[in-house]
Amino acid sequence: MIELSTTTRQLVSHLFPSPVGDQVTQLLEHECAENLPLTSSPDAVGLERIRFAVIRASDGDIDRLLKLISLAQQDWRDVLVVAEFANSVDEHRLWADRVLAAARLPNVPEETNMPNYICTNCGNQYGASEEPPLHCLICEDEREFVNPEGQSWTTLDEVKREHRNVLSTMEPGLSAIETEPKFAIGQRALLVQASKGNVLWDCVSLIDNETVEAIQALGGISALAMSHPHMFGSMVDWSHAFGDAPIYLHTDYQQWIQRPDPVIEFWDGEDRNLAEGPTLHRCGGHFKGSTVLLWPEGAEGRGVLLSSDGVQVAKDRRHVSFMYSYPNYIPLAATMVDRIVDKVLQLKFDRIYSAFHYLEIEADAKEAVQRSADRYKQAIG
Summarised one tens digit per residue, pLDDT across range 261-298 is 999 999 999 999 999 999 999 999 999 999 999 999 99
Please tell me the distance from the alpha carbon of residue 130 to that of residue 224, in angstroms, as a whole number.
28
Cis peptide before 17 (omega within 30 of 0): no
- Radius of gyration over alpha carbons of the chain, in Å? 23
**Are the C-beta atoms of residues 83 and 56 closer than 8 Å to each other?**
yes
Using CA atoms, how far residue 146 sits from 124, 132, 142, 150, 156, in Å, is 13, 15, 10, 7, 20
> E strand or H helix at 13, and its extent?
helix 6-15
Summarised one tens digit per residue, pLDDT across range 144-174 is 999 999 999 999 999 999 999 999 999 999 9
pLDDT score, position 103: 64
Model confidence, pTM: 0.73
Of the listed ranges 95-104, 280-289, 318-327, the least confidently predicted one is 95-104
Domain boundaries, the chain: 6-87, 116-158, 159-380
pLDDT score, position 134: 85
Mean pLDDT of the chain: 91
Q: What is the dihedral of CA 308, 310, 314, 317, to 10 degrees?
A: -50
Q: Closest Cα to residue 318, out of 372, 357, 358, 356?
A: 372
Summarised one tens digit per residue, pLDDT across range 176-218 is 999 999 999 999 999 999 989 999 999 999 999 999 999 999 9
Please tell me the distance from the alpha carbon of residue 116 to that of residue 123, in angstroms, as a whole number.
12
Please tell me the distance from the alpha carbon of residue 198 to that of residue 209, in angstroms, as a whole number.
18
Residue 86, helix vs strand vs coil: coil
| CATH superfamily for domain 159-380 | Ribonuclease Z/Hydroxyacylglutathione hydrolase-like (3.60.15.10)
pLDDT score, position 102: 67
Summarised one tens digit per residue, pLDDT across range 101-145 is 766 544 444 445 789 999 999 999 999 888 898 889 899 999 999
Using CA atoms, how far residue 271 sits from 95, 139, 188, 274, 293, in Å, is 29, 28, 23, 10, 10
Q: Which amino acid is at 132?
A: P
Summarised one tens digit per residue, pLDDT across range 79-95 is 999 998 888 777 888 88
